[in-house]
Amino acid sequence: MSADTNPTRDATPRRDESGAGRTTTAPGSKRILETIVRRELRTIVRTRTFFVLGVAFAAVVFGIAWISGSVRGGYVPTLVDLLTPMELLVPVVAVAFGYRAILGDAQRGELDVLKTYPVSSRQIVLGVYAGRAVGLVTTLVVPLVLVAVTVFAVEDEGRTLYASHSGVDSPILFARFVVLTILFALAVLAVAIAISAMVSSTRSALALSVVALVVLLVGLDLALVYGFSAGIIGDSALIHALAISPLSAYRGLVFESAIVVAAGTGPAAASPISSLLSLAVWTTASLGIAMSLLNR
C-alpha cells in the first residue's frame, strides 16, 4: 500500500486556521474503515500480480469446465467437475491475496505511523480484510459467473441427464456453489491476514503460508481420518467432526446443498449448521488473532 493513500490523512484532528484554537472532530470509525478499504482496493488494482493471478485462475476454471464437457451437461455436472479444483485453487488464491497484507505496511513503517493516530488495530485489520476480500471475491466470482453463462448457452444434456432423478438441474444449485466458495475463500483469507500480522519478513510469511496450506488442505483431513479409524470419532459424530476442517466443511456444504439435492437421495455428507459455524469461527478467530498481534 502506498504512502500517498494514508488513511490517517483524513483522520487527524485539524486546528482551526482562524486562530481560535478549535480543532475539528476526527471522523468516525466508519469513515476511517472506508478509507482503509479504498486504499486496499487501490493497492490491488495497481498490483500486476493480482491481475495475472486472476487471469490464470479464470483460465484454469473455464478450461476445466470446457474441456471436461460438463458445461454441456448442466449446472450440477459443471460444479461437480469444478469442486475438487476449487478445493485446491481457492486456498492458494486467498493466501496470495492476504499473506503480505499487513506485513507490507509493517515493512514500510506505515503501521508505526498509523499507531500515532486515532486508528485502532480493529479498524486496520477489518479495513485490510474487507478491501482484500472485495478483490478476492471478484477474482473468484467473475470466472464462475462466466462458466454459468456458458452452461446456459450451450447446455444440451441436462434434461436427459436428470430425467431418472427426483431432483432438477438448476442455476440456483450453481449459485449455492458460488456462495459457499466465497465463504470458504473468506475464511482462508482471514487465516492469511493473521499470518501477515504474525510474521516480520516476507520469507517467514511464505514459509508460514505454505505450512498453513498444507494443514488446511491435507493435515486436518488426515487428522479426521485418523480419528475415525482409531475410534476417537464415532459414526454419529462424524458429520459434525468434519466441520473442524474448513475444507471439509466447504466440501460437505456443497454436497449437501447442491449435489445431493440434485440427485434427490443419498446419505448426509455434512451438518450444514456445524459447517457454517466452523467457517464463521475460522474467520472471526483468525481476524481476532490479527487484531491482538497488532496490539502488541
Q: Is the residue at 3 inside a domain?
A: no
Q: Write the DSSP symbol of residue 258.
A: I
Domain of residue 93, residue span: 26-294
* Residue 114 located in a structural domain: yes
Query: For 159-174, b where at least 16 C-beta lie within 10 A, e where not — what string?
Result: eeebeeeeebbbeebb
8 belongs to a structural domain: no
Instruction: For CA atoms 77, 79, 83, 86, give the dihedral sign.
Output: positive
Give the number of domains in the chain.
Answer: 1
pTM score of the predicted model: 0.84
122 in a domain, yes or no? yes
Please say whether the beta carbons of 81 and 103 come within 8 A: no
For the chain, 296 residues long, give each residue's pLDDT as a single digit of tens.
444 444 444 444 343 444 444 444 445 567 878 888 898 899 899 999 999 999 999 999 999 999 988 898 889 999 999 999 999 999 999 999 999 988 887 877 777 777 777 778 888 899 999 999 999 999 999 999 999 999 999 876 544 444 334 457 889 999 999 999 999 999 999 999 999 999 888 888 899 999 999 999 999 889 988 887 888 887 777 888 888 999 999 999 999 888 887 665 656 777 889 999 999 999 999 999 999 988 77
- Position 171 in a domain: yes
Answer yes or no: is 203 within a domain: yes
Measured CA to CA, the distance from residue 160 to residue 182 in angstroms comes to 31
- Residue 11 within a domain: no
